[in-house]
Amino acid sequence: MGGVWAPGRPLAALLLTASVLSASLLAPGAPPEPDADAAQPRDVDKKSHVELKMDQALLLIQNELPKTNLTVYWTSERCHRCLPQVLASVYRSGKPGKLSTAAVAVSTQHKSLLQLNDTLGRKELCRLEYKFGEFGNYSLLVTHDHNDASEIVCDLLVNKNPIDSDLPVSIAFLVGLMLIIVICLIKFLLSLDDFNNWISKAMHSRETDRLINSELGAPSRAGPLGGPDTQSETASPSAVPRYRCVDTFRGIALVLMIFVNYGGGKYWYFKHASWNGLTVADLVFPWFVFIMGTSIFLSMNSVLRRGYSKLKLFGKIVWRSLLLIYIGIVIVNPNYCVGPLSWEKIRIPGVLQRLGVTYFVVAVLELIFAKPAPDSNCDLDERSIMLRYFMSDWPQWMIVLMLENIWLGVTLLLPVPGCPAGYLGPGGIGDWGKYPNCTGGAAGYIDRLILGDDHLYQHPSPAALYHTEVPYDPEGILGTINSIMMAYLGVQAGKILLYFKDKTKEILLRFSAWWFALGLISAILTKFSENDGFMPINKNLWSISYVTTLSAFAFFIMLILYPVVDVKGLWTGAPFLYPGMNSILVYVGHEVFANYFPFQWKLEDSQSHREHLTQNIVATAIWVLIAYALYKKKIFLKI
């Protein structure tokens, strides 16, 4: 038995990280009834009766064995330990030289694993692994070896080359890069005195100043950092500077979140991972949580130094948390997508709900235990600064680590009916189909027990690939503990900025130390493996390794942004700064108006990545422009 096939043309790789990202996969539809008189490959487009959709290719399975019925099984390389699914049944040809053919649509997002069995004898005839291309046309010919009639050969042939579905992303990336280069060139020219003098003669000086300071995002004359809500360090001895790197990072996460929420061009790497692993879509929410923790410390430090009443501050924390939860449940609830909101079917968990609970816990911990950072460290030696830094939050760490131990204990030890203890899998057809109703293990069981099936997310990311049938919520109760941990790691970034203020080298060293330490923990937990580590990276579970990995990325981004944006002033943070300073308004707005023009319109070809990508980029850019307009008008929504 053997398998020989002609390699098709692989899709062009765009993103450097795309090869390690996992994602949702469209399961193939039910195969048509086999037809012994099906057309030859050159006529398949007209007579196969298979309508191809985005991320699919046409596969003709041709059986030339006169006495053997075939059953073809399919699974995706991204489906870990999955029970193979029947793709098609192909009748025997009946006569030598005659073909019995079945036409099916196969997924092109990842490699497909095909297994061909003798239907009657259950004998495996051949096994193939192949990466099909979008809208390609392929033939899988099963026949006897011409040299040895007892041997069966499976040949995979390319009838029609696939399209390069990643080309629109490549073009969009190059266009964006060109815009950046042009803007940087213009800013450089405007910094030259001779060019500036020439511009001044051609334009009114006031209009030139507006162009330089506003349109190109350079700091205005209002202050060293510019923009509203900026506190000058010289204005008051207790004033805390507004770090643009924090707003910029928040804006980066928010813009990516808007883009992937709007569809990300329908590309698999802009969708959430089906279970273990990471995609671009899995990065943004934890980064938002991280920056929320940083902002909590910076703002709390500012109000405590001004002598604000802790009781009044606690009232504001409670109000803000409840308002976030209310907005999440009532205003941006995803069940609106399937009809009028019903209290019997309302989804209780959600992004803003988790943000509200996480904010409450972390803010209350800081309110109870935190002490304001010193005004200046200039008069303190290195040992005194380090002592203050390490002794400033040991009670908070004790509570956060206690919560983490609760997460570990419940996740690994809680008895779940019908499931093994410590189960972390997706259920469905995963783990060879042994635990179909165990999706998420303890996390899923707790949500279904406390909240009920009808109040959870009904279309979780593992449903398409793992064929799960039970509801599962990625923003469930148990995972909130790890989001608290994520936010508190963000608090550490804020502490570093304030405790080592004006000591750039010390700040960068500590960002680097956190980055290295968290990355090392992730490597140990995952064993450098997507599925075989002690604790795989999993966004649906918000596993510990997911938190440490994304926090390591966050510290690395801060390591880059802080010197570039706040120290050297090489970049003002535009355009990400603007949505970063109006994050609640932009997030809620993009959810509420997602289905309205100009954020969405009817596409000429709904199966085109290019059209979806164009629509999603335009919609995201519009929200950035809205945030910029609000920034210029000094309109900021705060809760």
> Which residues does the annotation mark as catalytic?
272
603 phi-psi bin (left φ>0, alpha ψ -120 to 50, beta other): beta
The answer to whether residues 299 and 320 touch, using CB atoms and an 8 Å cutoff, is no
Strands 152-160 and 2-5: parallel
**Residue of 254, 280, 172 whose CA lies nearest to 611:** 172
Token pair listed for 479: 């995972």
In sequence order, which residues have a C-beta less than 8 Å from that of residue 146 and are 6 or more positions away?
none
Locate 221 and state its tokens: 């004359």
User: Would you state the structure tokens that stand for residue 230, as one six-digit string?
Assistant: 């900026």
Which residues have a Cβ under 8 Å from the Cβ of 542 and sit 6 or more positions away? 286, 474, 479, 480, 482, 483
How many C-beta neighbours within 10 Å does residue 195 have? 13
Helix (H, G, I), strand (E, B) or coil at 333: coil
What single string gives the DSSP state of each residue in 327-369? Answer: IIIIIS-GGGGGSS--TTT-----HHHHHHHHHHHHHHHHHHH
Distance CA 44, CA 62 (A): 12
As a whole number of angstroms, the distance between CA 306 and CA 297 comes to 14
For the chain, how many helices (H) and strands (E)?
18, 9
Furthest C-alpha separation in the chain: 95
* CB neighbourhood size of 206 (10 A): 8
Report which secondary-structure segment, H or E, holds 405.
helix 394-413
SS (H, E, C) 496-539: HHHHCCCCHHHHHHHHHHHHHHHHHHHHHHHCCCCCCCCCCCEC
What's the token pair of residue 210? 């507006």
Give the integer Cα–Cα distance in Å for 38 and 103: 9
Q: Residue 296 has which token pair?
A: 């909590």
Q: Phi, psi (5° rounding) for residue 523? A: -60, -40
Residue found under tokens 């510990």: 544
CA distance 492 to 259: 29
Is the separation of the CB atoms in 389 and 362 below 8 Å?
no
| 3-class DSSP assignment, residue 551 | helix
Residue 268 CA, chain-centre distance (Å), reads: 11
- The SS3 assignment for 372 reads coil
Cα four-point dihedral sign 301, 306, 311, 317? negative
DSSP class of 21: B
Q: Do the beta carbons of residue 192 and residue 39 sit within 8 Å? A: no
Q: Are 482 and 547 in contact (CB under 8 A)?
A: yes
Distance (Å, whole) CA 108 – CA 90: 22
